[in-house]
Amino acid sequence: MKCAICGLLSDAVDEALGQGWILSFYEGDEEHGPACAACRQYFLRRAEGSSMAMKEDYYGRIVYQEEFDPDDDLDDEALIMGMIFN
Domain around 32: 13-85
Phi, psi values for residue 11, rounded to 5° = -80, -25
- Other CB atoms within 10 A of residue 9 CB: 11
The verdict on residue 6 lying in a domain is: no
pTM above 0.75, yes or no: no
How many Å from the N-terminal Cα to the C-terminal Cα in the chain?
A: 20
User: What is the C-alpha separation between 10 and 60, in angstroms, rounded?
Assistant: 26
The verdict on residue 1 lying in a domain is: no
Domain count, the chain: 1
The verdict on residue 25 lying in a domain is: yes
Phi, psi values for residue 34, rounded to 5° = -80, 180
pLDDT tens, position by position, for the chain (86 residues)? Answer: 899 999 999 989 999 999 999 999 999 999 998 999 999 999 999 988 879 999 999 998 888 886 545 455 544 444 444 444 44
